[in-house]
Chain A
Amino acid sequence: MHDIIVGAFWKALQMIFSGNGEVYATVYRSLYVTGLGTLLSCSWSIPIATVLGLYSFRGKWFIKGIFSSLIGVPTVALGLLLYLFMSHSGEFGFLHLLYTLNGIAIGESILVTPLIVSFTASALGAADVQLRDLAKTLGASGLRCNLAIMRETVWSMVLAVSAAFNRGFGELGIAMIVGGNLLGETRVLTTSIALETNLGDFDIAMAYAIILMAIVLTITLVINLVERIRQEEMPWKK
């Protein structure tokens, strides 16, 4: 086992520095579908979260509960549902999204929506009530109050979006079922891992897994570092 992991690390480095076009393309496709999917999701998730976090209305808690429960939706189930909608005989077959990167992106945007909505709404709801009072007593009303609260919780939103990105980046079900894992077309890191594992090429599969985890870790570490710099808590100053 130890040998496989060590071998996989070397394999991963080899694949990265060998100039293998397909490796780079696979990484690019992964970043593309998840980046696009996360961006798309933000366009509707953040407004929904704002309403859920900052306003009171009947049924709010029920709606929040629905979104929370959908965070853990199995990606294969969602992938299957989307396949049925996007197939030639499906309602959205005319869009020709099946077996395309954009199809995967749309699937991942739906996948991460509950996560962004739930985390962001919680952050906004938990914002100090006195912040709203402060904004009001300084002359802000309505939208300006909400903007003040959103500004104070923007970092929580960034963390929610980065968590969503990581969820999308590591998912397999949608990429496999909606994308089809087509070589040179829709093959991404997760489907490559699944394929290589099925073929018995564990070192290549492990190498792809290491690349995937390295990207996720790098993004997370960069975000943490930016937050620490923002808070002026640079470790080298201690």
Chain B
Amino acid sequence: MEVRLQNVEKSYGSVKVLKDINLEILGAKTIVLLGTNGAGKTTLLRIIAGLDERDKGSILLDGKDADERELRQIATLVFQKTVMFNTSVYGNLAYGLKIRGKEDGEIKEGIARELHTVGLRNFEKRKARKTSGGEQQRIALARAFLLNPQILLLDEPTANLDPYSATIIERAIMGKKGKGIVILATHNLSQAKRLADAVVHIYEGKIVEIADPEEFFNNPRSEMTRKFINGELDY
């Protein structure tokens, strides 16, 4: 799949959050979005996920302009703040599959498989909202994996997690490399180095640098990016 964002813009009231975003993702790549708080990473993820409407620009999927409904059919977003339905872990994971008309047997098998992937075997019957923050993030990830989206969007999936949970999540994401487009927003520079095929730096709603991790971290073209990497950029 090829995804092209052309001149995408988004404002909330009088505040322009995304300015003239142009981004090309060709094939099954892992793209990491880096930027300060409020840079526009989450907004960009939400627009690609089809959850927010862009004010200007287009998002082309294999050359065809896609609207929000079409984007929601192929993209799934895992939120930074986990959201669980008030039901069991099984109920949460099965939700998307039931909408897609999957059979019970297939659902059960898929859930067991993805819970194993995220290190939560036999968690099916637990109340999702009564699990820990780290467990909920892993459940949210498993829920997204189950749908096998063509574009998987992750908004700071390991923020505020203990090292064990963070490692499991990263391992799970690594396991999905090459199987689809993954776009991940993070503040964690080492995580970006480990996971990214390409790194995108967003500053005040604009893309200031796109490069492979080697070039991005060792020889950034943009002064803003250099400052960001060195921790000199004001939030």
- A→B interface (CB under 8 Å): 128, 130-131, 133-141, 144, 148, 151-152, 232
Q: Is B95 an interface residue (CB 8 A)?
A: yes
Shortest beta-carbon distance from B100 to chain A in Å? 6
**Are A134 and B83 CB-contacts (below 8 A) given A139-B96, A139-B99, A144-B99?**
yes
The interface bits of chain B over 39-50 (1 if a CB of A lies within 8 angstroms of the residue's CB, else 0) are 000000010011
Asked if A137 and B73 sit within 8 Å, CB to CB, the answer is no
Q: In the complex, what residues of B have CB within 8 A of residue A138's CB?
A: 76, 95-96, 99, 143, 147
Q: In the complex, what residues of B have CB within 8 A of residue A148's CB?
A: 85, 95
Q: How many A-B residue pairs have CB under 8 A?
A: 49
Chain B interface size, as a band, is: 20 to 34
Shortest beta-carbon distance from A167 to chain B in Å? 27
Interface pairs (14), CB distance under 8 Å: A130-B83, A131-B83, A133-B51, A133-B83, A136-B51, A136-B72, A137-B50, A137-B51, A138-B76, A138-B96, A139-B72, A139-B99, A141-B72, A144-B99
**Are A130 and B81 CB-contacts (below 8 A) given A138-B143, A144-B99?**
yes
| Distance A133 CA – B45 CA, assembled complex (angstroms) | 13
Q: In the complex, what residues of A have CB within 8 A of residue B100's CB?
A: 139
| Distance A158 CA – B9 CA, assembled complex (angstroms) | 43
Q: Is B217 an interface residue (CB 8 A)?
A: no
**Are A152 and B86 CB-contacts (below 8 A) given A139-B99, A232-B127?**
yes
Shortest beta-carbon distance from A115 to chain B in Å? 24
B99 partner, pick from A131, A133, A140, A152, beta carbons under 8 A: A140
Shortest beta-carbon distance from B227 to chain A in Å? 33
Asked if B83 and A128 sit within 8 Å, CB to CB, the answer is yes
A-B complex: 7 closest residue pairs judged by Cβ atoms = A138-B96, A139-B99, A130-B83, A134-B83, A137-B77, A139-B96, A133-B51
**Are A152 and B79 CB-contacts (below 8 A) given A136-B51, A137-B51?**
no
The interface bits of chain B over 75-105 (1 if a CB of A lies within 8 angstroms of the residue's CB, else 0) are 1110101010110000000011001100000
Q: Is B194 an interface residue (CB 8 A)?
A: no
**Are A130 and B79 CB-contacts (below 8 A) given A139-B96, A144-B99?**
yes
A139 partner, pick from B51, B73, B86, B130, beta carbons under 8 A: B73
Residue of chain B at shortest CB distance from A155: B86
**Are A133 and B72 CB-contacts (below 8 A) given A138-B95, A138-B96, A144-B99?**
no
Q: In the complex, what residues of A have CB within 8 A of residue B46's CB?
A: 133
Shortest beta-carbon distance from B76 to chain A in Å? 5
Q: In the complex, what residues of B have CB within 8 A of residue A232's CB?
A: 127, 130
| Distance A192 CA – B207 CA, assembled complex (angstroms) | 76
Q: In the complex, what residues of A have CB within 8 A of residue B75's CB?
A: 137
Asked if A134 and B99 sit within 8 Å, CB to CB, the answer is no
| Distance A137 CA – B96 CA, assembled complex (angstroms) | 9
Q: In the complex, what residues of A have CB within 8 A of residue B81's CB?
A: 130
| Distance A133 CA – B147 CA, assembled complex (angstroms) | 16
Residue of chain A at shortest CB distance from B140: A134
Residue of chain B at shortest CB distance from A129: B83
Identify 9 new A-B residue pairs, CB closer than 8 A, beyond the known A136-B50, A139-B73: A130-B79, A130-B81, A130-B83, A131-B83, A133-B51, A133-B83, A138-B96, A139-B147, A148-B95
| Distance A140 CA – B69 CA, assembled complex (angstroms) | 10
| Distance A131 CA – B82 CA, assembled complex (angstroms) | 10
